Amino acid sequence: MKRIAVLTSGGDAPGMNAAIRAVVRAGIDRGWSVVGVENGYTGLIAGSFRPLTDRDVGGIIQRGGTVLGSARCPELRHEAGLVAATRALEHAEVDALIVIGGNGSQTGAHALASRGVTVAGIASTIDNDLVGCDVTIGVTTALDVALEAIDRLKVTASSHHRAFLVEVMGRDCGYLGLMAGIAGGAEAVAIPEVPASVAGVAEAVRDAYGRGKAHALVVVAEGIRGGVDALAQELMAHRTDVGFTVRVTKIGHVQRGGAPGAFDRILASRTGAAAVDALARGTTGVLIGVIQNQIAETPLAEVAGRTKPIDPALFELARVLAR
Ligand code: F6P
């Protein structure tokens, strides 16, 4: 192994820079050269590489986003895109590729591995929907950002005796919503994995009002059927029944822009170096994550196209603690 490439793909996540830094420095420590691919798979197909030295990745561990840039790249789902990406790696004399990203990105990594590219993935997305890891890089910081908003919303909600529906990201996965609900002390959580949670919101809000609470805070995952606006309209239509007036806040991309906290920096540093170790051992086609605090390698074939289920016990915990 002489030269490796690293790219960040899909939605950016706090800690991606720390992972890039770890890949570059761990690679250089083995005597390899490292090149960065600009703007994810889009840059790979276009052959946009730049050399990365240990100095190039100085001062980035504490920065959110990704210094390499990122992109959604539908072209990689097609044969022509895969051929172009493979050729670009050959042309740049790259021996192996490290892909830092979430579900779609690792599905792309699997497609490249199936074509013979030596590749390792690093689990990074604020959605935490990837099989093969307990927690992805970025989700903990994104949760902290969501919590700051939730804590503030509870203040104004109490002053006005309102119910707030707070929409958080997560695509089709309710992990971010569920955890924000537990940590934010929400009166209810609505997530796609539990359809009954949407129907139960009115009851939870009514219940909070009936027990004399000053507000009701509902965390809504963006992936629920019908979306947060339809849910708000339904509540407002039953205004007298639910007690509170209703407001909606969508936190949206704000969740992605935070500076990574200690947990994400350490997770990214560990998995970045572990991806280099895996390649050095001749391993390919795996996702690097942490399971029960140990580095884990999961075949990309088991990761691609799958979504990690949520723990039903955590949903029950959110319900019990909402009293
Ligand atoms: O996958 C990360 C994520 O932030 C999802 O939670 C969200 O649904 C999506 O990306 C938003 O994508 P985009 O930044 O392309 O609008």
Ligand 1 centroid vs 91 CA: distance in angstroms? 32
For the segment 77-84, the average pLDDT, to the nearest whole number, is 96
Ligand 1 centroid vs 11 CA: distance in angstroms? 5
Over the chain, what is the mean pLDDT? 97
CA dist 213 → 82, 185, 196, 210, 256 (Å): 56, 13, 23, 8, 32
**Residue minimizing CA distance to atom 14 of ligand 1:** 11
pLDDT score for 53: 98
For the segment 110-125, the average pLDDT, to the nearest whole number, is 98
Q: pLDDT band for 239, please (50, 70, 90 cuts).
A: confident
Both structure tokens of 5: 């490439």
- CB 37 within 8 Å of CB 48: yes
**pLDDT over 90 (residue 74):** yes
Given 12, 56, 127, 277, the catalytic residue: 127
pLDDT score for 252: 96
Q: Check residues 197 and 108 and name the one with the higher pLDDT.
A: 108
What lines the ligand 1 site, CB under 6 Å?
10-11, 72, 102, 125-127, 169-171, 222, 256
**Residue minimizing CA distance to atom 6 of ligand 1:** 170
Q: pLDDT band for 254, please (50, 70, 90 cuts).
A: very high
Ligand 1 centroid vs 12 CA: distance in angstroms? 8
CA dist 94 → 37, 40, 100, 120, 287 (Å): 11, 16, 17, 13, 19
Probe target for ligand 1 pocket from 125, 126, 169, with the most ligand atoms within 8 Å of CB: 169
Ligand 1 centroid vs 127 CA: distance in angstroms? 8
pLDDT score for 1: 79
Ligand 1 centroid vs 157 CA: distance in angstroms? 27
For the segment 80-106, the average pLDDT, to the nearest whole number, is 98
pLDDT score for 238: 82
For the segment 308-317, the average pLDDT, to the nearest whole number, is 96
Letter string b/e over residues 193-210, b meaning 16 or more CB atoms within 10 A of that residue's CB:
bbeebbebbbebbbbbbe
| Residues forming a β-bridge with 167 | 220, 250
Distance in angstroms (rounded) separating the CA atoms of residues 74 and 92: 23
Report the percentage of the chain scoring pLDDT > 90: 95
**Residue minimizing CA distance to atom 10 of ligand 1:** 11
pLDDT tens per residue, range 202-214? 999 999 999 999 9
pLDDT score for 11: 98
Both structure tokens of 95: 């021996």
Q: Nearest Cα to 63, choosing from 289, 260, 286, 253?
A: 260
Probe target for ligand 1 pocket from 127, 178, 191, with the most ligand atoms within 8 Å of CB: 127
Q: pLDDT band for 242, please (50, 70, 90 cuts).
A: confident
Residue type, 255: Q
Q: Is 264 a catalytic residue?
A: no
**Residue minimizing CA distance to atom 3 of ligand 1:** 11
Sign of CA dihedral 27, 50, 108, 4: negative
pLDDT score for 138: 98
**pLDDT over 90 (residue 323):** no
**Residue minimizing CA distance to atom 7 of ligand 1:** 171
User: Which is the closest atom of ligand 1 to the Cα of 176?
Assistant: 6
Report the percentage of the chain scoring pLDDT > 70: 100
pLDDT score for 263: 98
Ligand 1 centroid vs 171 CA: distance in angstroms? 6
Q: What is the DSSP letter of 134?
A: S
For the segment 211-231, the average pLDDT, to the nearest whole number, is 96
First to last CA, the chain: 58
Q: Nearest Cα to 142, choosing from 82, 74, 88, 221?
A: 221
User: Which is the closest atom of ligand 1 to the Cα of 170?
Assistant: 6
**Residue minimizing CA distance to atom 13 of ligand 1:** 11
For the segment 133-155, the average pLDDT, to the nearest whole number, is 98
- CB 72 within 8 Å of CB 14: no
**pLDDT over 80 (residue 240):** no
Q: pLDDT band for 68, please (50, 70, 90 cuts).
A: very high
Q: pLDDT band for 5, please (50, 70, 90 cuts).
A: very high
- Characterize the bridge pairing of strands 96-101 and 216-221: unpaired
